[in-house]
Structure 1
Amino acid sequence: MRKPPQNPHDLSRHDLDDILGTINDEARQRFGEGKVADYIPSLADVPADRFGMALALPDGTVHACGDARERFSIQSVSKVFTLTLALEAIGDDLWKRVDREPSGDPFNSLVQLEYEKGIPRNPFMNAGALVTADVVLSSFDDAEATLLDFMRARSGNPEVGSDDVVARSERKSGYRNVAMANFIRSYDNLHNDVQQVLDFYYLQCALRMDCVDLARSVQYLADAGRCASSGVQVTSAEGATRINSVMMTAGTYDAAGDFAYYVGLPAKSGVGGGIVAVVPHVMGLCVWSPALDEKGNSLLGRYALHRLTRMTGLSVF
């Protein structure tokens, strides 16, 4: 008689601490692969030999390994949270200003903007994130305080803040973002002052958090929009599903297809080496290792998530 299939959401059959320990050991044996981001000067100084990982469950339990408590610059991981704020503020009207399609181009590409009349392909490219930042600025009296309060509530950490050194470094080296913002503004798709939009964007990218903070922060996307840290319904179950879908198709730059193939989870990466991911109905998670692959994703982060899904079967496919 054929055995019934195991429940993929049942974590009782997994020793998560043992699995994380194995992944941590394997990842550290691969130190030396990849390269830290060097086009933002303050990121170029981050030691490459770091690896941390954390899993946050809907009941508030956290499992972690390695350098999971070392803070880092979250960079484009922040786009998940500004997207959430923008959708909660204006709903589906957001999609009139930014699309939901994979780009196939690097995260800082300007190529498609002219062809598509200033409408970015998705909210996770830099161009799309600038539009999302503009929406947040228009929707809240104090957008910076709103974002900081949001991140502190999601992570349960009142000390979450932005690194002024990183923000200044990005401002000094952000020529392509300046060009992008002005180009989008020429199509009337930015409604606030361009420099104000850029400053807010640099602030969100310069947020400093650790793996535990970020695993807790995305946990609401694994639990139908409910945040375990605060008990707040951050977004609707439908909203969480939609954000997860955009993460799956566009969250890892122009490597989203490859990432879906090898990892099989909605995820969002940043050039600071962090990757957040979601196992729907099960957990939010974060992995950090600063050395990147050629697409700008954490090389060991991708490996760690691949190993986690293979060792547990916790893939959406």
Structure 2
Amino acid sequence: MPTIPARTLHARTAESLADGHATPEDLLHLGTDEARTLSVALFRRLHGLQEGTREYSYVRNTLVELNLSLVKYAARRFRGRSEPLEDIVQVGTVGLIKAINRYDVERGVQFATFALPTITGEIKRFLRDTSWAVRVPRRLQELRLDIAKTGDVLEQRLGRQPTERELTQELGITDAELAEGRRAASGYTARSLDAPAGEDEHSTPLTRSLGLDEEAYERIECLEALKPLLAALGDRDRLILSLRYGDELTQDAIGERLGISQMQVSRLLSRIMRTLRAGLLADDEVPADEGRERAPAPARDPEPEPART
């Protein structure tokens, strides 16, 4: 099957666009450089058209089709979240349209460089507004959804609200798990502290009833979170932490105690603290490297990964 030279294909597609007869199939055959060149030409043409006209809509829609790969690239960085990828792509497309409306081709900035922050920002706002108010383990998030869906199914089947026993039997879970899943639902939305404390809208706001922050509570929370991480450390690592932060010995004194140099103690402490910090900040929903992909050709180059130590 003979291939059509790129220049000929580009000329045909550009001519079709000029006449308003190009199809999505025409755009699929464009190469990266052709798509970029065509986008620049279309942006110049768009700025000379009146918004709201049929021709304006056609050119803008064509720009959306040409640059949709930017949305897909940005959306894949957020895969694994609770929201479907299709919804994230749809929201990202809204960001793409906003970027197209604001882009000035005469400033000399590549459109991908200009558009990606807008697309990503739109997706982040969407996830912020639809995500959990507090961090809840994925297991409990899924359990909450299962309880809600099963409750709806049983209500339609029985013609009434199901009892807790009927829910647990249908789901195959215990009463304690049912209660835990229902408590998890309270983490999805947070009540404003400026909201009235009572049913009367003129009652005292919740902020007036809050006490002062107690630093001891925060320390207790940190210690409780560290317990399993400390237990996972080796004997020597735990000893070094005990000598440094329990007995408050200097690094030189610890080195003499263990028969190693001060520099080795410093490196060991740095490694231990990195391990503990990573454990505290670990996200149980999306692995750190998940979704890290090379940007599509029209987009800016991805940032280099930091050197491994």
TM-score, normalised relative to structure 1: 0.19
Name the structure, 1 or 2, with higher relative contact order (CA <8 Å, separation 6+): 1
* Larger helix percent: 2
* Larger strand percent: 1
